[in-house]
Each structure stands twice: as C-alpha cells, then as structure tokens.
Chain A
Amino acid sequence: MSDKYRDDLIDRMAVEAKRGRLSRRDFMHYAMAAGVTASAAGGLWTSKAALAAPKRGGTFRLGTHDGNTSDTHDPGTYLSFSIIQLAHTYRSYLTQITPTNELGPDAAASWSATDDATEWTFKLQKGASFHSGKPFTADDAIASLNHHRGEKSTSAAKALLKDVTDIVKDDEHTITVKLATGNADLPWLMTDYHLAMCPANSDGTIDWQSGDGTGPYKIVHNEFGVGTKLERHDGWHGEGAYFDAVEMTVLNDPNARQTALVTGEVDGITQLELKTLSLLQRNPNILVDNVPSGAAITMPMFCDVAPFDNVDVRMALKLAIDREDIIKKITFDTAIPGNDFHISPNMPYWPDLPQRTYDPDKAKFHLKKAGQENLTVDLSTADSVYSGAVDMCVLYAEHAKAAGININVNREPNDGYYSEVWLKKPFCMVQWGARPTPDVMLSLAYKDDAAWNESHWQNERFNELLLQAKAELDQEKRAEMYREMAQLARDDGGTIIPMFTNFVYARAKNVAHGENLAASWQMDGARACSRWWFDS
C-alpha cells in the first residue's frame, strides 16, 4: 500500500469519524489494517479524527412524533413522546442519564445516602435559575417532588415515589429524601420524566401552568400538538445548549416526518419507519442513529396455568424461537437479541450470561422430559404492540414447528389490547419501555406480588434477592445479586424476551453529536437539543 493511498484512506476515515459515523475502536482497527502502528493510530485519532469541538449557534428544528393537542405542562400527566422531548428541553431533573448511560448531575450537583439507603441527601446546583429569573432553591425541589405524592396527587409517578415518607429541607440548597425501606436506586429514579423541577408556590404546591422551568431553553411560543419555539436560557446550570434556538414541530405522520427531513424543513426527526429505513440510509444528506436501548419485547407465559406450569415446557418455548431471524426479518436489524431476563446491555448491572440460541433439538428434548410432545399453545398478539408484531408471531410459529410445537397465533383487536389481553391471556406479546435500573423493571413486572407480574412467576430465591439488592449500596455485591437473579429468570422464569428494540432516529448531516448516545429515550435521552450542535 503506497503512503499516498494510505494517507487518503486515513483522511476519509477521519471525515467519517468526525461526523460520528465511525467509532474510535473501528477507526483504530481500520487504521492498523492499513498498516499504521497502534500507537500511531491512537495519535491520528486524537489529532485528526476525534470529534470536532462543539460549536455554538443556529436554530435546531426537530420533528417529533406522538404529540397531542391535549398535552399539558403538568409534569404529573406527561405521557406523549413529544412532551417528553420538550420536557427535557425546557425543564430539568435532579439527575440525568448521560450519553454513556451512567448517572450524572443535573439540577442536583451531588448526592449521598445513609448506609441503609433509607435517607438520600441531594445538594442542589447553586447557580441554577428559572427562566423567569427566580433562583432555584430547596423549596422548589421539594414542592416539585411533592407534586407526585400525597392523597390529592393526580400524578402518574405516584407509584414510583410511594416509598418516600418525607422530604425535608436541610438548607437553601440541600434536601433529604426519607424512605420507608432502603432503595439504592433512588438517584436513578429522579431521572424519571415526570419528576421535572418547577417553581414552588408559597403554599407548597407548584406553578406548572406557566411553563416555567430550569432547563436549557425557555419557551417563547407554544401550542400543544402543533409545535414549540424556544430560545437559550442564558443562566442555565449545565454544559451544552449549543444551539441559539430550538423549534420543535409535531409531525405525527411518519411520511410527513421523513419528507420534512429529506426536503430540509427540519434538522432532526424521531422514530423512523423501519420498512423504509434502508431507503433513507441511502440518502447522503441524512445520518441515521440506530441506538440499542432498554426497551423490550416480552412474551409472558402464566406459570400457574398448564402447560406453562412445567419449567421444561417454558424452556422448550424459549429454545424454539430464532431471535436472529426475527431481528433480521421483522426489525430490519434494529434490535439486539434478548436472553430471557429483563436487563438490557444498556442498563446498569447487566450480567454477561451466555446468549440463548435457537435449538429445536434441545427444545424437543425438554418437551419429551415434560411429556408434552406435539405441544399446541395459543399466542395472543396485535399490531399495536409493535410494528410487525403479528408477522413476528407467525415467524416464531414457523421456527417452533421444527421443535414439534404448534403455535396458534391469535390476532387480537388493537383497541384495548392492554386492558383485555395483557394480564388476562396466558401467553401473549407485550412491549415495555426502557426503565433506568434493573430494580425498577424487575419490581414492576417480575416481583411475586406485583400487580403487573405478567407471567405469574413465583420464585422464592429471586424475590429474596430482589429485596436485598434494592437496598445494597456495595456495587460489586449488588451486581452479583443481579447476575444470580438474571440466571434464575433466564432458566426458570415465565417470560421469553426475544429482543430489546433499538431507538432509530435521524438527523441532517450537518448536525453533530458526541461519541455516545444515551439509551434512555430517543434523541440522546431526549436531550439532543442541549447536547448536539451544528457542525458547519
């Protein structure tokens, strides 16, 4: 390889890397393949290819899906994806999930707990202020959290904070949250999109109506279900907010969203239509971000109903699904395989257990052991669960045939699926949004007495560990507990988890972002407006 050719190659790779299309690891790999030594490749990365420093300026126009006229500023009833994007732009939270999926500071600068994790003290950012100019203090933080507590509260986050017994003010910039039982995850819970910081009224309630917040951008003009104009809040306490202004437009129709991006009327859009993904990727002016997340597809089986009460039957059904095939044909490579426990590689404490693969022979072995050869089961599904859900179940039925299992796919009505089918039919398909930590997820849908224990799974050891891990502050011990719980769910549990679905969104090629993208929400954890910038 001539030096000239090699230099050209490195330059081209550097351009790709600067645009965020080539990771450092891939850059090093290809550079070394081209004959550059490892240390020289590392030097090239820092000098040439490392992402350009963020630039300030410009108006970022973002098209978002799922916006409703009926959205409001009340953080307790935040529900649509559009409002979640907006909430992270005009309001802030005590903590945040960083692009590398770690916990970072937002309106709280630091936090600490007592040894049993029953009392958490948050030190608030001293320089933070509301858009109105009012400084952000402990009273505001307390009122904002209390909005989701108490008998009169109408908040959807009420269940999340049910263990909180009291919130006290230590000084102007310090609050302490007291819990009934220890919870090592409390700072993670503070990233929940409902728990936005709002200005306190004198009676301890919050003024959510005004739309004031402590976020990076302040609202200039807003019409719910249509769009919002925002400009930078100069006193913002965080890092970033590179754009001078942000314009969010609600684009509910997938075609309208993609057309708007293709014709340059917006600079970024949420939620791509997967069927046309490969066509959009061919457009040189558009960059697609395909980000693995913690959102999962699950197929719960009632562990107290025959034939699913036999662990070998459950194991056979887990072995009879070809996850790779489904990811390729149904999701167009926008998912990562699940391993039958509900902790995604993008969640903390993910244990690296051996990946379960398609093995019809082994499935047959388990069926024989259970005395259930020629097993026939009904599987309920609906297209509203996931785009292509019915096709996916039909494909699964084909895979299972090779193991001698006959799966009848029952297509249920879209409307009312989660009230009439989920938790009622013994074997169905469900979509779960990403949750910040394993404890939140497992307590919600796998704990023995949880209202949403969708598989009716009862495992003494699992539930014992779940309670222990919840209050365990020692990271290593805690990780070990989650590993054991994952192993139990994987081999004994009643839930097939075929895959974790990716977030797939797109931006114009002049929009740049850091090396990593948060997996908590679409658009870099719904914080694209304050984390991204215009490259040129």
Chain B
Amino acid sequence: MSDVLSIVLKRLGLGLITLLVISILIFFAVELLPGDIAQAVLGQGATEENLKALREQLGLNQPAIFRYLEWLGGAVQGDFGVSLISGRSVAETIGPRFAATLFLASYAAVIAVPIAILLGIIVALLRDSIFDRVANVLTLTSISSPEFFLGYVLILYLAVKNPWFPALANVNFQDIGTVELYYRTFLPALTMVLVVVAHMMRMTRASIINLLASPYIEMARLKGTPAWKVIVKHALPNAWAPIINVVALNLAYLITGVVLVEVVFVYPGIGQLLVDSVTKRDFPVVQACCLIFAATFILLNLAADVGAILTNPRLRHPK
C-alpha cells in the first residue's frame, strides 16, 4: 500500500504544478481578450472619462504581471480575492453555485454509472442480439445529440405535452424540501444521464468482449460455468481498469461540461457563472472557476489511476 501512497503524493505534487501553469495560461488568456472589464461593465455608456475612473478604481492601471503576482500571493494563502464587479469574495460568489453543480452531477452520476455498467454487462452477455443492437442504437443516438437538444426534447414530452415534471429547475436551495429538490432537478439530471451513459456502457461492453477470447475465459466456459458468471466473476475483474478510466472522465464531464444543460433548464450552476464572468472579464472569478475545473480533472484522473492499480495486482508490483 505504501507504493500507492507514494504515487498519490507524487501525483498531487504534479497536480499543484499543473494548476500553477493553468493559472498563468488563464490569466493571460483573459488579458488577450479584446476589451477589458471597464468596457464590459459600462457597455454602450462607456466614455473616455468614466473608463479612466473605473480602471483606476479597479486597479487596472498596474501592469498585468504585477496583478497576476498579487493574485498568486493571495491564492497560495487560500485567498482567491474578490470579484472585481460585485466586490463579494470569490469563495462567497462561487460557493453556492459550485454546490449546486456538484449536487446535479452527483444526482446524474448515481443514476448513470450503475445503469451504464449494468447495461454494459448485459449487452456483453447478449452481444449481437436484438437487445444489444437496440441498446447501442439508443445510447449512441443520445450521445450524438447535443445536450441542449436532448433537453428540449425532454421538456417537450415530459413537461409541456405531459406536465409531469417542471420545465424550469430554478431551485433555491433554502426553501424547498429534499423530495421537491429531486423532483425539480429530475429533467436536467436525466439529460446528463442520457449524455454520459453511452460512453461508459460501450467501454464496459468492449473491454469485457475483449477478454472473452482469452484462454482463461475459455477454461471457465469449458468447466461449465454459466455465461453470466463467466462475465461477472472472471472477465469483469480484469476489465475494471479501462471502465474506471471512462467513468472518471465522464464524472469530470458532469461537473465541467454542463453549461448548456444549465442554460436550458435555468439551473444556477457554476457553468453559467463562468460564462458570465468571462463576458465581463471578471478575472478572479474566471480564474477560480477554471482552477476548480482543472482540479476536478486532476483529482478524478488520479482516482482513476489509483482505482486501476487497486483492482490490478500486477500494476501494484511493477517489475
């Protein structure tokens, strides 16, 4: 186990360096965008005079490198600064929105992951049957449609034509009960489930089928083990590594790639916050959102690698 621990520590250290590089990239990418925060805030009402006053007030007169170092100095101490526009602390601005995104992502993941793996196993078992074909066609169709389109289709059939679910998921976490919360956010969660299931299901299917030609599987069959047991007991343990990788990638997607779902269902998540902040060139908020996304990918990738190692003794003892 100490091997695993040292891998984790090494990867976390590398992760921190990655975050630093990303923060530099993001800062200068925002700098490269045409126009600055003062122009974005004042819009059509911008004149030379009030632009100058606003830039002075926001401290935009200092050179970019100086502003970056100032931000970095705060960030290493855990202070991500204040939003340039609202003046609220970044943590306070992002906190509730990120919590909302995490909630929706977990809601979708709890439905999607078991369904995908179970379906993957079943279609591997019944491969080339009608069931296999239908499941493949349906999941591939849903992954091939853009998520806003899936969202619209679900709204049309499950909210407008049959008023079973609300079309808006504009939840306010303070004043609704848990059941109501799950009910109101069901359609966006379902949209995300449909988007991610296909990828995970097909990876499960492919990695299991890949192993079915191995000699030890043939051995298991020859000794008379039932087909489902061959797959679950013999094939699946060796197939975990690629499946875990794909699951981790999709979990990261559920957190970082759902802006369109948020817009369609009016869900107050972090994606919309990021888009608004980029439009207004509100650098501290953009930076914090991007670092959260980057950290999500780093941590989930790390989790995937650790998972793969734990499920495969050969990787635990490299020669």
Instruction: Tell whether A441 is near chain B: CB-to-CB under 8 Å.
Output: no
Identify the A interface with B (CB < 8 A): 68-70, 72, 76-77, 79, 151-159, 194, 209, 221, 223-227, 249-253, 255-256, 259-260, 262-263, 265, 415-416, 418-419, 433
In B70-86, the 8 Å CB interface with A consists of 83, 85-86
Instruction: Tell whether B277 is near chain A: CB-to-CB under 8 Å.
Output: yes
Contact across chains for B85 and A72 when beta carbons are under 8 A apart: yes
Contact across chains for A265 and B168 when beta carbons are under 8 A apart: yes
Q: How far is the CB of A65 from chain B (nearest CB, A)?
A: 11
Kindly state the separation between the CA atoms of A289 and B272 in the bound complex, as whole angstroms: 30
Kindly state the separation between the CA atoms of A227 and B87 in the bound complex, as whole angstroms: 19
Interface digits, B218-237 against A, CB 8 Å rule (1 contact, 0 not)?
A: 00000000000000000000
Specify which chain B residues have a CB less than 8 angstroms from the CB of A225 in the assembled complex: 268, 272-273, 276
Contact across chains for B170 and A70 when beta carbons are under 8 A apart: no
Contact across chains for B277 and A70 when beta carbons are under 8 A apart: yes
Q: Which residue of B lies closest to A452 (CB)?
A: B44
Among B49-57, B130-138, B205-213, the stretch that binds chain A is B49-57
Specify which chain B residues have a CB less than 8 angstroms from the CB of A194 in the assembled complex: 45
Contact across chains for A69 and B264 when beta carbons are under 8 A apart: no
Kindly state the separation between the CA atoms of A264 and B272 in the bound complex, as whole angstroms: 24
Specify which chain B residues have a CB less than 8 angstroms from the CB of A265 in the assembled complex: 166-168
27 A–B contacts from the bound complex (CB under 8 Å): A69-B93, A69-B272, A69-B273, A70-B83, A70-B85, A70-B279, A76-B50, A77-B42, A79-B41, A154-B50, A155-B45, A157-B45, A158-B45, A159-B45, A194-B45, A223-B96, A226-B170, A227-B170, A249-B266, A251-B168, A252-B263, A256-B168, A256-B266, A259-B155, A259-B168, A415-B34, A418-B44
Q: A250-B266, A265-B166 are in contact. List 4 more A-B contacts (CB 8 A).
A: A72-B86, A209-B87, A225-B276, A263-B159
Q: Which residue of B lies closest to A257 (CB)?
A: B266
Q: How far is the CB of B201 from chain A (nearest CB, A)?
A: 29
Kindly state the separation between the CA atoms of A152 and B57 in the bound complex, as whole angstroms: 9
From A153, A159, A259, A419, give the contact of B167 (CB < 8 A).
A259
Q: Which residue of A lies closest to B155 (CB)?
A: A259
Instruction: Tell whether B25 is near chain A: CB-to-CB under 8 Å.
Output: no
Given contacts A153-B50, A156-B50, A259-B159, contact A249 B168 (CB under 8 A): yes
In B257-280, the 8 Å CB interface with A consists of 263-266, 268, 272-273, 276-277, 279-280
From A69, A154, A260, give the contact of B277 (CB < 8 A).
A69
Instruction: Tell whether B22 is near chain A: CB-to-CB under 8 Å.
Output: no
Q: How far is the CB of B158 from chain A (nearest CB, A)?
A: 11
Q: How far is the CB of B211 from chain A (nearest CB, A)?
A: 45
Kindly state the separation between the CA atoms of A250 and B266 in the bound complex, as whole angstroms: 8
Contact across chains for B45 and A253 when beta carbons are under 8 A apart: no
Given contacts A152-B53, A156-B43, A262-B160, contact A256 B167 (CB under 8 A): yes
Specify which chain B residues have a CB less than 8 angstroms from the CB of A256 in the assembled complex: 167-168, 263-266
Kindly state the separation between the CA atoms of A415 and B278 in the bound complex, as whole angstroms: 14
Instruction: Tell whether B129 is near chain A: CB-to-CB under 8 Å.
Output: no
Q: Tell me the count of chain B residues lying within 8 A, CB to CB, of chain A.
A: 45
Number of A-B pairs, beta carbon distance below 8 Å: 113
Instruction: Tell whether B163 is near chain A: CB-to-CB under 8 Å.
Output: yes
Instruction: Tell whether B47 is near chain A: CB-to-CB under 8 Å.
Output: yes
Specify which chain B residues have a CB less than 8 angstroms from the CB of A69 in the assembled complex: 93, 97, 272-273, 276-277
Specify which chain A residues have a CB less than 8 angstroms from the CB of B263 in the assembled complex: 252-253, 256
Specify which chain B residues have a CB less than 8 angstroms from the CB of A416 in the assembled complex: 34
Q: How far is the CB of B91 from chain A (nearest CB, A)?
A: 15
Contact across chains for A259 and B160 when beta carbons are under 8 A apart: yes
Instruction: Tell whether B152 is near chain A: CB-to-CB under 8 Å.
Output: yes
Kindly state the separation between the CA atoms of A156 and B50 in the bound complex, as whole angstroms: 7
Instruction: Tell whether B305 is near chain A: CB-to-CB under 8 Å.
Output: no
Q: How far is the CB of A505 from chain B (nearest CB, A)?
A: 18
Specify which chain B residues have a CB less than 8 angstroms from the CB of A263 in the assembled complex: 159-160, 163, 166-167
Specify which chain B residues have a CB less than 8 angstroms from the CB of A79 in the assembled complex: 41-43, 45
Specify which chain B residues have a CB less than 8 angstroms from the CB of A155 in the assembled complex: 45, 50
Specify which chain B residues have a CB less than 8 angstroms from the CB of A250 in the assembled complex: 266
Q: How far is the CB of A210 from chain B (nearest CB, A)?
A: 13
Contact across chains for B42 and A156 when beta carbons are under 8 A apart: yes
Specify which chain A residues have a CB less than 8 angstroms from the CB of B273 in the assembled complex: 69, 225
Given contacts A153-B53, A249-B266, A253-B263, contact A260 B45 (CB under 8 A): no
Q: How far is the CB of A97 from chain B (nearest CB, A)?
A: 19
From B57, B155, B265, B276, give the contact of A70 (CB < 8 A).
B276
Kindly state the separation between the CA atoms of A452 and B284 in the bound complex, as whole angstroms: 34
Q: How far is the CB of A412 from chain B (nearest CB, A)?
A: 14
Contact across chains for B45 and A156 when beta carbons are under 8 A apart: yes
Instruction: Tell whether B4 is near chain A: CB-to-CB under 8 Å.
Output: no
Instruction: Tell whether B99 is near chain A: CB-to-CB under 8 Å.
Output: no
Instruction: Tell whether B46 is near chain A: CB-to-CB under 8 Å.
Output: yes
Specify which chain B residues have a CB less than 8 angstroms from the CB of A221 in the assembled complex: 172, 174
Specify which chain B residues have a CB less than 8 angstroms from the CB of A259 in the assembled complex: 155, 159-160, 167-168
Given contacts A256-B167, A260-B168, A263-B166, contact A154 B57 (CB under 8 A): yes
Kindly state the separation between the CA atoms of A226 and B35 in the bound complex, as whole angstroms: 26
Q: How far is the CB of B74 from chain A (nearest CB, A)?
A: 20
Kindly state the separation between the CA atoms of A155 and B47 in the bound complex, as whole angstroms: 10
Q: Which residue of A lies closest to B53 (CB)?
A: A154
From B53, B172, B264, B282, give the contact of A151 (CB < 8 A).
B53
Specify which chain A residues have a CB less than 8 angstroms from the CB of B93 in the assembled complex: 69
Contact across chains for B168 and A70 when beta carbons are under 8 A apart: no
Q: How far is the CB of B272 from chain A (nearest CB, A)?
A: 7
Contact across chains for A253 and B159 when beta carbons are under 8 A apart: no
Kindly state the separation between the CA atoms of A259 and B165 in the bound complex, as whole angstroms: 12
Q: Which 4 pairs across A and B sit closest by C-beta, in order of nearness? A: A156-B45, A154-B54, A69-B276, A70-B280
Interface digits, B16-39 against A, CB 8 Å rule (1 contact, 0 not)?
A: 000000000000000000110010
Q: Which residue of A lies closest to B170 (CB)?
A: A249
Q: How far is the CB of B231 from chain A (nearest CB, A)?
A: 43
Kindly state the separation between the CA atoms of A153 and B50 in the bound complex, as whole angstroms: 6
Q: Which residue of A lies closest to B57 (CB)?
A: A154
From A70, A152, A154, A226, give the contact of B282 (CB < 8 A).
A70
Kindly state the separation between the CA atoms of A263 and B43 in the bound complex, as whole angstroms: 35
Contact across chains for B50 and A251 when beta carbons are under 8 A apart: no
